[in-house]
């Protein structure tokens, strides 16, 4: 070992035994390969549909050399009446270390965290929270802004039923950004204004005035039957972002957690515009979830 590193007896969770990266002569084979999560197993339990979150968690775990398994509601014994708790305890009995859970019930990941010893990662629970989505959104914004203190973000759509909105408000206000929530009155919980230190408005023009980043949310079609908005056409007329908005706000960036209803929240021209950073969000989702697994997944000594 080089003299400069001999006093650095490090106890790093990643197994590396060096303080610096100067040359490779002191490195053992296991450090050179860095199979960070080799021997660690990750189960993806998705009780709701998902494209981005499920695939990116899967890719993230694979790129860190973890063993992965996946279960969807339709292919699980939940369809035969097994409870979530029993499902998770059976998964744990197979020595799974990390459970990535998407579930329609708010609080389901918190419940599992109390009744199993696996590390639980919330991949979206009902209308409650989607923490990795907000973390990847913040990561995506960071590439475009100098400081969160000077940043104005407007979140537009069905705020009431959005776990993405809740987690983003928590992340962005913690970082010092100014957040405006915009949507129809029926989808805009005004109590959030005081409780979460945000501004609310039912006017899209007001939300876009002085805004740096507009984050549109997916309109959940099933809400139309609940009478929360008259029609998708009417929603688009009042809250849809168009090329005209981009012309009037020449520095405005567009985000959307996906899936996008093209022609409703955003026109085709906006989705595919050079100031749309929607696919950067998706790309960053893999790196962000790798980072989350890297920090939180337990390490196994042996593969």
Binding site for ligand CP (CB under 6 A): 50-54, 124, 133, 257-259
Q: Give whichever of 52 and 85 is closer to ligand CP, judged by the CB atom.
A: 52
Backbone φ and ψ for 150, nearest 5 degrees, come out as -95, 5
Q: How far apart are CA 158 and CA 211, in angstroms?
A: 19
Q: Say if residue 158 is preceded by a cis peptide, omega within 30 of 0.
A: no
Instruction: Burial-class residue 156 by CB neighbours within 10 Å (0-12, 13-18, 19+).
Output: buried
Q: Give whichever of 176 and 259 is closer to ligand CP, judged by the CB atom.
A: 259
The dihedral over CA atoms of 244, 249, 255, 259, expressed in degrees to the nearest 10, equals -10
Label each residue of 199-238 as H, E or C: EEECCHHHHHCCCCEEEECCCCCHHHHCCCCCCHHHHHHH
Q: Which helix (H) or strand (E) holds 67?
A: strand 67-72
Q: Give whichever of 130 and 201 is closer to ligand CP, judged by the CB atom.
A: 130
Smallest distance, ligand CP to C-beta of residue 34, A: 28
Smallest distance, ligand CP to C-beta of residue 172, A: 16
- Is the separation of the CB atoms in 119 and 297 below 8 Å? yes
Smallest distance, ligand CP to C-beta of residue 136, A: 9
Convert 268-292 to b/e letters by CB count within 10 Å (16 or more is b).
eebbebeebbbebbbebbbebbbbb
Q: Give whichever of 206 and 287 is closer to ligand CP, judged by the CB atom.
A: 287
Smallest distance, ligand CP to C-beta of residue 259, A: 6
DSSP H helical segments within 64-210, as ranges?
Answer: 84-93, 108-115, 131-142, 163-174, 191-195, 204-208
Smallest distance, ligand CP to C-beta of residue 164, A: 7
Smallest distance, ligand CP to C-beta of residue 42, A: 16
Smallest CA-to-CA distance from 41 within 89, 117, 96, 93 is with 96
Smallest distance, ligand CP to C-beta of residue 187, A: 18
């Amino acid at each position: 070992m080089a003299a400069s590193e001999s006093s650095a007896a490090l106890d790093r969770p990643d197994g590396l035994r060096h303080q610096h990266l100067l040359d490779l002569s002191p490195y053992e084979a296991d450090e050179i390969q860095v199979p960070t999560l080799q021997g660690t197993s990750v189960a993806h339990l998705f009780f709701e549909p998902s494209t981005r979150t499920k695939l990116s968690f899967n890719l993230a775990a694979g790129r860190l050399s973890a063993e992965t398994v996946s279960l969807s509601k339709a292919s699980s014994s939940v369809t035969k009446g097994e409870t979530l708790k029993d499902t998770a305890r059976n998964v744990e009995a197979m020595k799974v270390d990390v459970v990535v859970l998407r579930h329609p019930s708010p609080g389901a990941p918190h419940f599992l965290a109390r009744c199993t010893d696996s590390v639980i990662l919330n991949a979206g629970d009902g209308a409650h929270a989607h923490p990795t989505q907000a973390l990847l959104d913040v990561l995506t914004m960071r590439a475009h802004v100098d400081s969160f203190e000077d940043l104005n973000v407007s979140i537009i759509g069905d705020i009431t039923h959005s776990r993405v909105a809740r987690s983003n408000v928590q992340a962005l206000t913690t970082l010092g950004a100014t957040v405006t929530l915009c949507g129809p009155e029926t989808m805009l919980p005004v109590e959030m204004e005081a409780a979460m230190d945000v501004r609310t408005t039912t006017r899209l023009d007001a939300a876009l005035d002085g805004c740096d980043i507009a984050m549109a949310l997916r309109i959940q079609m099933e809400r139309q039957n609940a009478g929360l908005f008259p029609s998708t056409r009417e929603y688009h007329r009042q809250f849809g972002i168009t090329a005209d908005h981009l012309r009037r706000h020449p520095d405005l960036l567009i985000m959307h957690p996906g899936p996008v209803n093209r022609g409703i929240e955003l026109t085709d021209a906006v989705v595919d515009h050079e100031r749309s950073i929607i696919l950067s969000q998706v790309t960053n989702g893999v790196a962000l979830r790798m980072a989350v697994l890297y920090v939180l997944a337990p390490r196994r000594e042996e593969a």
